[in-house]
């Protein structure tokens, strides 16, 4: 009887872990989607504005959304994305933290995509 109880407990634990894994996969996917959207809008904006860094509320909002979606996946990356959002409110203001370049963000997206493949 104890053996069956142990199997039931183990089965419950495995089910919870699978649910966590599924939730984490959704979070990673949401983070990738939000970061990709912010990246695309920023790239297009810079291309159309000849690389001019002018305050842009829409870009700030997109990077804030990306930071929010990334927080439960990678807190350090989320913090860097939040800095990117602040950058687009005041692009010419001196910064203590270095702002991620768009090429570095592509690297981060690729790292997140590897999490989906596991």
Domain boundaries, the chain: 27-117
Span 26-40, pLDDT tens digits: 999 999 999 999 999
Give the pTM: 0.78
pLDDT at residue 114, as a whole number: 85
Is residue 83 within 8 A of residue 97, CB to CB? The reply is yes
d(CA 56, CA 42): 10
d(CA 1, CA 35): 51
d(CA 69, CA 24): 11
Burial status of residue 22 (CB atoms within 10 A of its CB: 0-12, 13-18, 19 or more) = exposed
């Amino acid at each position: 009887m104890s053996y069956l109880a142990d199997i039931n407990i183990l089965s419950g634990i495995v089910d919870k872990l699978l649910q966590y894994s599924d939730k984490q996969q959704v979070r990673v996917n949401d983070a990738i989607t939000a970061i990709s959207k912010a990246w695309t809008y920023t790239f297009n904006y810079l291309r159309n504005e000849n690389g001019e860094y002018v305050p842009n509320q829409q870009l700030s909002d997109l990077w804030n959304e990306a930071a929010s979606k990334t927080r439960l996946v990678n807190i350090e990356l989320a913090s860097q994305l939040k800095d990117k959002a602040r950058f687009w409110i005041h692009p010419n203001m001196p910064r203590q933290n270095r702002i991620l370049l768009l090429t570095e963000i592509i690297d981060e997206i690729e790292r997140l995509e590897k999490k989906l493949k596991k």
